[in-house]
Amino acid sequence: MSRPGSVQAGFQFSVQASDGNARAGVLRTPRGEIETPCFMPVGTKGTVKGMRPKMLRDMGAGILLANTYHLAMRPGSDVVASLGGLHRFMGWDGPLLTDSGGFQVFSLGSTAKIDDQGVTFRSVYDGAREVFTPERAIQEQQALGADIIMCFDECPPGGANREAVAEAVRRTGLWGERCLAVHHEAAGCGTDGPQMLIGIVQGGVHADLRRESVERMLDLDFPGYAIGGLSVGEERRQMLDVTEDTAKRLPHDRVRYFMGIGDPGGLLEVIRRGVDIFDCVLPTRVARTGSAFVPEGKMNLKNAIHAESREPLDRDCPCTACSSFSRGTLRHLVMQKEILGLELLTEHNLTYLFRLVRGARRAIVENRFAEYARQETASHPW
Amino acid sequence: MSRPGSVQAGFQFSVQASDGNARAGVLRTPRGEIETPCFMPVGTKGTVKGMRPKMLRDMGAGILLANTYHLAMRPGSDVVASLGGLHRFMGWDGPLLTDSGGFQVFSLGSTAKIDDQGVTFRSVYDGAREVFTPERAIQEQQALGADIIMCFDECPPGGANREAVAEAVRRTGLWGERCLAVHHEAAGCGTDGPQMLIGIVQGGVHADLRRESVERMLDLDFPGYAIGGLSVGEERRQMLDVTEDTAKRLPHDRVRYFMGIGDPGGLLEVIRRGVDIFDCVLPTRVARTGSAFVPEGKMNLKNAIHAESREPLDRDCPCTACSSFSRGTLRHLVMQKEILGLELLTEHNLTYLFRLVRGARRAIVENRFAEYARQETASHPW
């Protein structure tokens, strides 16, 4: 299965164990190894909101994600480059992944205009007219300097008709080729070292369009493939079926990335279907609204029932919120909009996901993933 | 100088060295020793905004301050007590000090009405009518359970006339006596162990009223004395003269607390005049507006000059902001209102003050305080 053409110096993915379709692997990068399955916390503007890099490392984060769109607008990828690249900028010397900016351009700019050339939109920061093309998306990511970068793709909105999805598949293929060319021109390197470029499969919930998109991406031969365009409003059942069918068609020896899933139940379901890495703002965003992941489901700390509770959030969790504070204090911090409250809940929700995913990895290695997933979702279906 | 009547079980203050009027001491409490001079970070609602307790400990915080007014209103001192007391509530097992609520009652409630009984005001939280009396202030502090608690005093606004200040001195004496009675009734203990009650000297900038207030407080015999009612708009020169004159009249073997000073230059000046402990929201509030204490003065990170600076904030500072981030990144975080930005600047400003005050202590021990203060304020007068 080895394809020398797609091998990137310093990067290597290997599957170490599998259980059904679920895989336990290792992604080697020049900045360290990532054990998969792996949840990537989102550092939209170069910081996972409220978390210090050292804390993320101590909690077990293997890789962080940052958004090219936001960083390209503020402070500018050139500024990040002149400050020494994204790793130094973020104070994180481990692996980093940047998205291509496509998703933000499509979802934030309702005035976006798309043609084969690229996307024209107005910046949410200052209203300036901006054009993102596949070339610019890669160049921005090269300037930023993450280890893993993403192709510029067209992600149609949830509920787009078949025709629009087919067009997005065609364009995503066209753009993928151009992204690859710009990537190769730079010898696969950004301002901060070697980069691995991941292709993205589109196709909405249409099995035939997904297959077409997979074929197109396999032809381009990427060292890893992402499943994009899901979690945009479709039924979860449908999403999982598409994920399963798509993952099966991707090469066994390439890393698979599901873009945008972060609820505990959903993570286990995409892991079950052969996904290796995933990201989402959900755990950190939920934390900032005052809710915590607990084995029983999502706990809203604003509920008055917690006001005098001396219980920890989750008795088995080693995070600061659970080891040093009562539900009563956490509720007080949330109600008073204290920064410490959202810091602690962010740490907790990420810790919850990291532990869940590490547990999934162990279960895959020990060939008991199905039982593990059943246990973890027994008290709450998510 | 020993006064058995005022000795509180578990508490002991001793001066270990002095240099001019400046003192290096140790305040022993049931929860650990505090080396003085000592800056106390303010955790208004039970948290130093944006700081985890462990981080404060690692940075060298010896004692934290929390506000009785805010905690009595939300979540309620009874709730804090039922959650196990303020130490558990805050996740801090070191020494804690609560103020009496007086300052907030006077400064937040413009509708406050004062008589000898106490103060009637409307809560800023829900507009409810509240009455704070000396008795209630002590009872709230007993329920909260800090190690060091404060007398309920009348703090006249800056610019109050002599008559008003004289009345406040009289009332503060009257109230101090009632505070002491409630404190003794509870055998000097709160819900969380032994407590030390500190008396407060008022008198504005009037030397004779200050002396009268000192005499009254000495008659009541407290194990420590605070200088209140300054930093409310008077000239700094005047403030320092009053501080010097007041400190001289306080017993050598009792801890002296200047309420509300937090600028680097000001700290050194009150230390020079014999003050042992002090607090202020300034360093943490300044951080949240995007400014940092540096040897040259106060640096506003919003200034565009920092956008592409790879320099650390302060080359000699060991804090996370200085060791892991450039001014360029810090500016980006501040401009984007990222939580991490205010966390890092808060850590930096507190680290700056802790180091400054530790340096002052060493200088006092080595009899070179005047030179130290001159050096530290050489490049910026503060």
Are A45 and B324 a contacting pair at CB < 8 A?
Answer: no
Does B143 lie in the same domain as B173?
A: yes
Is the residue at A144 inside a domain?
A: yes
Closest CA to A100 of A179, A189, A174: A179
| Of residues B281, B229, B274, B228, the one with CA closest to residue B255 | B274
Instruction: Select from B268, B275, B281, B265 the least CA-distant residue to B245.
Output: B275
- Which carries the bigger pLDDT value, residue B56 or residue A381? B56
If phi > 0 it is left, if psi is from -120 to 50 it is alpha, else beta; for residue A66 that is beta
Give the distance between the most distant pair of CA atoms in chain A: 62
Q: Do B32 and B180 reside in the same domain of the chain?
A: yes
Q: How confident is the model at residue A381 (pLDDT cuts 50, 70, 90)?
A: low
Q: Do A138 and A19 have their domain in common?
A: yes
Per residue in B105-139, pLDDT tens? Answer: 888 756 789 999 999 998 889 989 999 999 999 99
Q: Which of B329, B335, B337, B348 to mutate to test the interface with A (most CBs of A within 10 A)?
A: B329
Q: Using the beta-carbon criterion (under 8 Å), do B51 and A88 form an inter-chain contact?
A: no
Question: What tens digit of pLDDT does each residue of A16-70 get?
Answer: 999 999 999 999 999 999 999 999 999 999 999 999 999 999 999 999 999 999 9
Q: Between chains, do A54 and B320 touch, taking CB under 8 Å as contact? A: yes
* Rg, chain A, Cα only: 20
Do B193 and B322 belong to one domain?
no
Integer angstrom CA distances of residue A172 from A117, A223, A229, B232: 11, 17, 11, 64
Those residues whose C-beta lies under 8 Å from the C-beta of residue B96, and which sit 6 or more positions away, are B31, B63, B64, B65, B66, B86, B87, B90, B146, B147, B148
d(CA A347, CA A341): 10
- Same domain, yes or no, for A215 and A90? yes
Domain co-membership, B179 together with B250:
yes
* Chain A CB within 8 Å of residue B123 CB: no
Is residue A276 situated within a structural domain?
yes
pLDDT digits over B233-257, tens only? 999 999 999 999 999 999 999 999 9
Please give the residue of chain A at the shortest CA–CA distance from B86.
A329
Contact yes or no for B51 and A340 at CB 8 A: yes
Nearest Cα residue to A144 out of A153, A155, A152, A136? A136
The DSSP output letter for B4 is G
Tokens 């024209």 label which residue? A120
- Among A229, A247, A280, which residue terminates a domain? A280
ipTM: 0.96
With beta carbons less than 8 A apart as the criterion, state whether B27 and B36 touch.
yes
Catalytic residue IDs of B: 99, 279
Identity of the amino acid at B28 = R
* Residue A77 Cα, gap to closest chain B Cα (Å): 12
A49, B340: Cβ pair inside 8 Å?
Answer: yes
Query: Considering its fold, how many domains does chain A have in total?
Result: 2
B90–chain A Cβ distance below 8 A for any pair: yes
Q: Are A345 and A233 in contact (CB under 8 A)?
A: no
- Give yes or no: residues B145 and B89 share one domain: yes
Between chains, do A340 and B89 touch, taking CB under 8 Å as contact?
Answer: no
Q: Is the pLDDT of residue B347 over 60?
A: yes
A195 and A58 in a common domain: yes
Alpha helices in A191-326 (DSSP H): 207-220, 236-249, 264-272, 282-288, 320-324
Tell me if A54 sits within 8 A of A31, measured CB to CB: no
Burial of residue B113 (CB within 10 Å: 0-12, 13-18, 19+) is exposed
- Distance (Å, rounded) from C-alpha A234 to C-alpha A227? 14
What is the C-alpha separation between B58 and B65, in angstroms, rounded? 17
Does residue B6 belong to any structural domain of this protein? no
Cβ <8 Å between B343 and A45: no
Spatial separation of the C-alpha atoms in residues A70 and A310, rounded to whole Å: 41
Measured in angstroms, the CA of A200 and the nearest CA of chain B are apart by 30
User: For the residues B290-297, what does the mean pLDDT come to?
Assistant: 95
Average pLDDT, chain B: 95
CA distance A176 to B250: 78
Looking at B280, B299, B327, the residue that finishes a domain is: B280
Give percent of chain B above pLDDT 70.
Answer: 97
Residue range of the domain that includes B37:
12-280
Which 3 state secondary structure label does DSSP give A66? strand
Q: Which residues of chain B does A49 touch, with a Cβ-Cβ cutoff of 8 Å?
A: 338-340
Domain boundary among A231, A260, A280: A280
Contact residues on chain B for A336, CB-CB shorter than 8 A: 45, 74
Is B354 contained in some domain? yes
pLDDT for residue B20 is more than 70? yes
Same domain, A221 and A190: yes
Q: Do B47 and A333 touch (CB under 8 A)?
A: yes
Q: Which of A326, A333, A338 sits opposite B83 (nearest CB)?
A: A326
Which of B84, B91, B310 is nearest residue A84 as measured by Cβ atoms?
B310
A370 in B contact zone (CB under 8 Å):
no
Query: If you average pLDDT over residues B173-179, what whole number do you get?
Result: 98
How far, in Å, CA of A141 to CA of A191, rounded? Answer: 9
A105 vs A237, residue with greater confidence: A237
B264-277 tens-digit pLDDT: 999 999 999 999 99
Q: In the predicted model, what is the mean pLDDT of residues A320-337?
A: 98
Inter-residue contact B41 to B65 (CB < 8 Å) = yes
Q: Is the predicted pLDDT of residue B1 greater than 70, yes or no?
A: no
Say yes or no: A35 and A111 in one domain.
yes
Domain assignment of residue B365, yes or no: yes
Helix (H, G, I), strand (E, B) or coil at A98: strand
Instruction: Please report, for the domain that includes residue B110, its CATH number.
Output: 3.20.20.105
Is residue A214 over pLDDT 70? yes
pLDDT in tens, A115-140: 999 999 988 899 899 999 999 999 99
pLDDT at A5 over 60: no
Predicted confidence at residue A109, as pLDDT, reads: 59
B248 and B335, same domain (yes or no): no
Q: CA of A137 to nearest chain B CA: how many angstroms apart?
A: 21
- How far off is chain A from B122, nearest CA to CA, in Å? 18
**Confidence (pLDDT) at A9:** 80
B312 touches A: beta carbon within 8 Å: no
Nearest CB among A52, A75, A328 relative to B332 is that of A75
State the nearest Cα–Cα gap between A43 and chain B, in angstroms.
11
pTM for this model (two decimals): 0.96
Cβ–Cβ gap B52/A328 under 8 Å: no
Rounded alpha-carbon distances, angstroms, from residue A240 to A274, B94, B175: 11, 51, 70
**Cβ within 8 Å, pair A49-B342:** no
Q: Which residues in chain A have their CB less than 8 angstroms from residue B50's CB?
A: 339-340, 343
Q: Is the pLDDT of residue A107 over 90?
A: no
Report chain B's terminal Cα–Cα distance, integer Å: 37
Disruptive mutation site among B73, B284, B331, B332 for chain A (greatest number of A CBs within 10 Å): B332
| B133 Cβ contact partners less than 8 Å away, ≥ 6 residues apart | B117, B118, B119, B152, B178
Domain membership of residue B382 (yes or no) is no
Residue B45 sits at the chain A interface (C-beta within 8 Å): yes
Mutate which of B71, B83, B325, B345 to test chain A, going by most A C-beta atoms within 10 A? B83
- Residue A139 CB neighbour total at 10 angstroms: 18
Q: B248 and B372 share a domain?
A: no
B106 within domain boundaries: yes
Beta strand pairing call for B277-279 and B38-40 = parallel
DSSP A31: T
Distances (CA, A) of B43 to A241, B98, B145: 51, 10, 15
CA distance B209 to B162: 9
Q: Which of A52, A74, A333 sits opposite B340 (nearest CB)?
A: A52
- Taking CA atoms, A140 is separated from A81, A179, B2, in Å, by 10, 12, 71
State the alpha helices, DSSP H only, in A273-338.
282-288, 320-324, 327-335
Q: Once rounded to an integer, what is the mean pLDDT over residues B318-331?
A: 98
Q: Does A194 touch chain B (CB under 8 A)?
A: no
Q: Does A79 touch chain B (CB under 8 A)?
A: yes
Paired with B24 in beta bridges are B17
Measured at the CA of B255, the angle between CA B167 and CA B375, to 5 degrees, comes to 105
State how far Cα B329 lies from the chain centre: 32
Candidates B44, B47, B73, partner chain A, best to mutate (most A CBs within 10 A) = B47
Give the gap in angstroms from C-alpha B310 to the nearest C-alpha of chain A: 6
